Amino acid sequence: MAKLKWGMIGGGEGSQIGPAHRLGAGLDGLFEFNAGALDHRPDDGRDYGRRLGLSPDRSYGDWRDMLEGEKGRDDRVDLVTVATPNATHFEITKAFLENGFHVLCEKPMTMTVEEGEDIVRLSEKTGRICAVNYGYTGYSLVRHMKAMVARGDLGRVRLVVAEFAHGHHADAADMDNPRVRWRYDPAQAGVSAQFADCGIHALHMASFVIGQNAERLSADTVSCIESRTLEDDAMVNLRFDGGTVGRLWTSSIAIGRQHGLTLQVFGEKGGLRWAQEEPNQLYWMPLGERLQIIERGEANLSPEADRSTRVTIGHAEGMPLAFANIYSDLAEAIRAAKDGRDMDPAADLYPRAEDGLRSMAAVFAVAESGKRNGEWVDARPPLFR
Ligand code: NAI
């Protein structure tokens, strides 16, 4: 089977997320890296693309040149990943969807709810896939949690507790550090800093696992470092549309926490606990029984978990392999779209534009509720009310 053709915008040399995408897309041999506009400095981007093996005519200096160059080719890329800074996502994603490319966009998908709605409508109108990289839902045991909830192992889910709290912006001296300062500046970051950067991962994972969307929320947002305009810590109470109660804590001043993404799900018949820094174990306690540790790769896991794992039990699988699961799901979806086939529902797990839009609505709801001393507000985008 011929490989699908893949291109990337952003993710240049030294970027944080570029390498994980290249590892993820390349891992299963489903995609070939054919084109890129990797850096905001055209010469650096062209040079790095060539060093990564792109042909000189497809290592572009600017994403607009890449769009022009690729749309005229018979062998144009099938999928474009957008891994540039947040404020550019909407414009680039829109332009590539309009020209018939499938897109995987980094989070947050857009800067406003209205832009998010535009992308959802455009993806529907063009029939092109717009996925959003909530890549941590690619972990095998996160998918197993989702399967356990769906098949009723927990009974009705009463409570979900999600955290994404790290300590990497805890130094007040960072006020002068340009790499940190912009994140808390509304002119550059929008209405939210920490919730928009990390909180949306935790919220998306909670929604993905319990199969429900946030309906209402109340937020306490604070700038623990007082010179910051936007929040560096938030505690959010939620109500999901299936009746589950949600608690979400996100922080960038939690010294000693590293990545700090965790999920706990409590139902009538049992509780689950998973932490991204130890992703190969899932803690499961059925009501009235002993605590069990479910290992990634063990026998009799769900089909969703089995299709998302590659290395045998006892050897750690980590974040680039979780991203690889998003890419392999997307490869299946793109092949189905090319052949005019319906998707295999078991493979239909990747996060999409609707998820990106719901996140944006939650970001604005958190900012609004935070300003109004935690008043409960609607967390849904107008399109889905
Ligand atoms: P970064 O600042 O480390 O790298 C950004 C890269 O994009 C650089 O190589 C830069 O030269 C390039 N770039 C900037 N403007 C460009 C343009 N107009 N055209 C082409 N290239 C351009 O940023 P980082 O941390 O890699 O974040 C990028 C995106 O990925 C952000 O939206 C961020 O929220 C998201 N992200 C997602 C994560 C996830 O787990 N899904 C984790 C980390 C970041």
Quote the CA–CA distance of 47 and 179 in Å, as a whole number. 24
Q: Is the CB of 9 under 6 A from ligand 1?
A: yes
Nearest residue CA, atom 19 of ligand 1? 40
Nearest residue CA, atom 38 of ligand 1? 17
User: What is residue 181's predicted lDDT score, i.e. its pLDDT?
Assistant: 86
User: What is residue 177's predicted lDDT score, i.e. its pLDDT?
Assistant: 84
Instruction: Label residue 252 exposed, middle or buried (CB < 10 Å: 0-12, 13-18, 19+).
Output: buried
Nearest residue CA, atom 31 of ligand 1? 85
Quote the CA–CA distance of 360 and 379 in Å, as a whole number. 9
Quote the CA–CA distance of 263 and 274 in Å, as a whole number. 5
Q: Is the CB of 164 under 6 A from ligand 1?
A: no
266 C-alpha to ligand 1 centroid (Å): 35
| β-sheet bridge partners, residue 132 | 105
- Rounded to two decimals, the pTM is 0.97
218 C-alpha to ligand 1 centroid (Å): 30
Question: Which of 8, 16, 137, 166 should be mutated for ligand 1, with most atoms under 8 A from CB?
Answer: 16
User: What is residue 348's predicted lDDT score, i.e. its pLDDT?
Assistant: 78
Q: Which two tokens stand for residue 373?
A: 């001393």
Nearest residue CA, atom 3 of ligand 1? 15
- Are the CB atoms for 89 and 341 separated by under 8 Å? no
User: What is residue 346's predicted lDDT score, i.e. its pLDDT?
Assistant: 60
17 C-alpha to ligand 1 centroid (Å): 6
235 C-alpha to ligand 1 centroid (Å): 26
Q: Is the CB of 15 under 6 A from ligand 1?
A: yes
User: What is residue 195's predicted lDDT score, i.e. its pLDDT?
Assistant: 98
**pLDDT tens series, the chain, 385 aa:** 899 999 999 999 999 999 999 999 999 999 999 999 999 999 999 999 999 999 999 999 999 999 999 999 999 999 999 999 999 999 999 999 999 999 999 999 999 999 999 999 999 999 999 999 999 999 999 999 999 999 999 999 999 999 999 999 999 988 788 888 889 999 889 999 999 999 999 999 999 999 999 999 999 999 999 999 999 999 999 999 999 999 999 999 999 999 999 999 999 999 999 999 999 999 999 999 999 999 999 999 999 999 999 999 999 999 999 999 999 999 999 999 998 888 776 667 999 999 999 999 999 999 999 999 999 999 999 999 9
Nearest residue CA, atom 42 of ligand 1? 17
Nearest residue CA, atom 44 of ligand 1? 17
Closest among 188, 164, 184, 168 to 226, alpha carbons compared = 184
Q: Is the CB of 106 under 6 A from ligand 1?
A: yes
Prior bond to 382 cis, omega within 30?
no
Instruction: Indicate which atom in ligand 1 lies nearest the CA of residue 15.
Output: 3
User: What is residue 345's predicted lDDT score, i.e. its pLDDT?
Assistant: 66
Nearest residue CA, atom 18 of ligand 1? 40
Quote the CA–CA distance of 10 and 82 in Å, as a whole number. 6
Q: Which two tokens stand for residue 24?
A: 């993820």
182 C-alpha to ligand 1 centroid (Å): 14
Nearest residue CA, atom 16 of ligand 1? 40
243 C-alpha to ligand 1 centroid (Å): 36
